[in-house]
Amino acid sequence: MRPLANGHPVSPPTGRPGHAEPAHPLEWPVYDDGVAARVTELITRGRTFDYDYGSELAELERSFAERHGRTHALALTSGTAGLLAAYFALGVGPGDEVIVPDLTFFSTASPLFLLGAVPVLCDAGDASGNVDPAAVEALVGPRTVAIAVTHLWGHSCDMDALRAVASRHGLALVEDCSHAHGSTFRSRPVGSMGDIAVFSVGGRKLVSGGMGGMLLTDSEDVFARACLLTNFRHRTDLTIDAARYEPFLLTGLGGNFRISTPGAVLAQSHLDRLDELVERRVTNMSALSAGLGRLPGVRPSPVADGVTMGAWYDGVVEVTPECPFSRDELVAAGQARGLKVRAPATRPLHVFPLFQGAAPDWSPQVAAAVRAAAAVNDRPFPRSAELFARWMKLPVNFLWEENSPLVGAYLDAFDDAFSMARTA
Ligand SMILES: Cc1ncc(COP(=O)(O)O)c(C=O)c1O
C-alpha cells in the first residue's frame, strides 16, 4: 500500500514535469468503520455463512424489495447468478430466443447459453448506448420468449416503450440494473419496472457486498423457481409457500448461489446510504461530464428526459471526430497526466468469440445455442461499434467523496492537454 497524504494514497510521479498528478482516494467500494466492526463480529462468532434465513439476509432482501416497491427479493452470489436464475425462473430453454443489448456486460446474455437458449443482439440506439425499443421490436420472431435490457452506465432505458413492446408480443421483460443503482425513469426506480430485475451487488458497484447479486420480482412463481435454483433447505422451505414446489424444497434444483453473511452486511451498509452516495456521485459526475463537454469534440453522455442518474457505473464521455485527439490519444494524454481514464471494459458482445460461434465441444446443449446465436447475430452492429470506439471511461470509482477535488483537477489536466494540442 502506498503512503497516505491527507487520507489519499500518493500516486507515483508522471512524465509531465511541473504538473502535479491528482491524488486519488481509495477506489470504490469503500466501507465505514461501523460495518467493518460488524463484519469482524460476524467472523468472531463464526457467522460467515447462512444455510437458513438469518436476519442479515432477510434484512438485505427486505430493504431491496421495499426500496423498489417489489414483493420478492432474492440475495445471491452475483449479478450473473441472478441473471441465470431469472432466465431459469422464466422457463427459458433450448432454442428459445431472448433479445439482449449488444452493448452490455456479457453476463446479461451469457447465462442463456447454459440453458441452451439463444441471445439475439440488438444494436445500440441513442448516444447513451441503450437499445431503441423500435429496434428491439424489429428483432421479435417466433422463438422470442423474453427481452432483457441493461440500463447502460446508469441511463434508464425507456421502460414504458419496452413494456409496450413486451405486452404486444406476450414477452417477459428483464431489467439488468447492475450499472444503475438509484437511477429512475419517470420517477420510478430502475428495478421496479421489469417482470424481473437483477442487480449486481458486487465488485465496484455502488452497492457492493464484495460479491453479490439481487433478483427482484412481484411473481411468487418466479421467486420460488429462482430460489430453488440457487438454494436448498432450509432457505427454500423457510421462504417458499406454494405446495407445487414442495418436492424440491430439500434438494433445490442444482445450485447453491447464496450471498455470504458478511457480504450481505457490507451490501446493506451501502444500501442504507444509497441516496447520499448517489447524490455525491451524480454531483461529481455531472460536473465532470459537463466540464469536459465544453472541450471541442467531447460529448457528455446525454441524460434523456424523465431519467435521473444513479450509480453512473463506468460512466463515459464520447470523443467525436471534431476533437483534436482521437479517443486513444485523449486517453493517453490523460494518463500521462496521472488521470485514471481509459477505454471502457464493457465492450459490444458481438466482438467476443463466445458470441461469434466459439462453441464448447464438451457440452452439446451449450454448443448448439452458441452456434445458433452466431448465425442469428451474423450482421453488423454499427452504432455499438462506433460508440465503443469513441467512449472514454471517467474515473467514476474515485468520485465518491462530497464535492470531489478530482473534478477540478481532471478539468485542469484536460485543459492543459487541449492547450498543448493547440500550440503544437
Ligand atoms: C450490466 C452488468 N450485468 C451483469 C453483471 C454481472 O455482475 P456480477 O459481476 O455481480 O456477476 C455486471 C458486472 O459488471 C454488469 O455490469
- Whole-number Å distance, alpha carbon 79 to ligand 1 midpoint, is 5
CATH number at residue 214: 3.40.640.10
- Whole-number Å distance, alpha carbon 107 to ligand 1 midpoint, is 6
In a domain, 265, yes or no: yes
pLDDT in tens, 279-314: 999 999 999 999 999 999 999 999 999 999 999 999
**CB-ligand 1 contact for 80 (6 Å cutoff):** yes
In a domain, 189, yes or no: yes
CA–CA separation, 71 and 75 (whole Å): 14
pLDDT at 422: 80
pLDDT at 7: 39
Q: Is the model's pLDDT at 424 over the cut of 80? A: no
Burial of residue 241, with CB atoms counted within 10 A of its CB: 0-12 exposed, 13-18 middle, 19 or more buried: exposed
pLDDT at 74: 98
User: Residue 260's domain spans which residues?
Assistant: 34-272
**CB-ligand 1 contact for 213 (6 Å cutoff):** yes
End-to-end CA distance of the chain: 38
- Whole-number Å distance, alpha carbon 64 to ligand 1 midpoint, is 17
Q: Is the model's pLDDT at 200 over the cut of 90? A: yes
pLDDT in tens, 226-279: 999 999 999 999 999 999 999 999 999 999 999 999 999 999 999 999 999 999
pLDDT at 20: 79
pLDDT at 11: 43
In a domain, 238, yes or no: yes
Total domains, the chain: 1
pLDDT at 2: 35
pLDDT in tens, 71-97: 999 999 999 999 999 999 999 999 999
**CB-ligand 1 contact for 231 (6 Å cutoff):** no
In a domain, 391, yes or no: no
Do the beta carbons of residue 92 and residue 117 sit within 8 Å?
A: yes
Q: What distances in angstroms separate CA 70 from CA 64, 134, 188, 218, 410, one per listed residue?
A: 8, 28, 12, 6, 40
- The residue-averaged pLDDT of 124-129 equals 96
In a domain, 48, yes or no: yes
State the chain's mean pLDDT as an integer: 95
Place of cell 447459453: 113
In a domain, 384, yes or no: no
- Whole-number Å distance, alpha carbon 81 to ligand 1 midpoint, is 9
In a domain, 230, yes or no: yes
pLDDT at 421: 82
Q: Is the model's pLDDT at 10 over the cut of 60? A: no
In a domain, 261, yes or no: yes
Q: Is the model's pLDDT at 5 over the cut of 80? A: no
